[in-house]
Copies of this chain bind each other. A is one copy, B any other.
């Protein structure tokens, strides 16, 4: 029941593509991530996933198109939809995500970028 400053939390870690948990809301979690470059194509069979861009520009790739998501915007990826978050020109983009606490990082895909646990900060 204390305010959580998103910028200050983002300053606590440098690793890209490694979500850090800052809060839970019922069975959901709020996680922060720094991303740069391209992630892994994957889908979450049973969970929606919300992305909020706090800094920079997210390019959310779907199989049929790419959506540009600017700072101050959100996008919800519905369950079952293949997606691949990315940034352009090596930009470091800061994200906040809302998703189920049990949502797997790369969904149905096992990859060297896959993180099994998210540090709590």
- Residue positions of A touching B, CB distance < 8 A: 1-7, 22-26, 28, 30, 47-50, 62, 67-70, 72-79, 81, 98-100
Contact = CB atoms under 8 A, between A and B. Distances in A.
Main secondary structure of the interface of A (DSSP, over half): strand
Given A2-B67, A4-B73, A6-B74, 13 more contacts: A1-B81, A2-B75, A3-B74, A5-B72, A6-B72, A6-B73, A24-B76, A25-B28, A25-B48, A28-B28, A30-B50, A30-B74, A30-B98
Please give me the 8 A-B residue pairs with the lowest Cβ-Cβ distance, nearest first: A3-B73, A3-B69, A25-B48, A25-B50, A5-B73, A26-B48, A4-B74, A3-B75
12 contacts: A1-B62, A3-B69, A3-B74, A3-B75, A4-B74, A23-B50, A24-B48, A25-B50, A25-B76, A25-B99, A26-B28, A30-B74
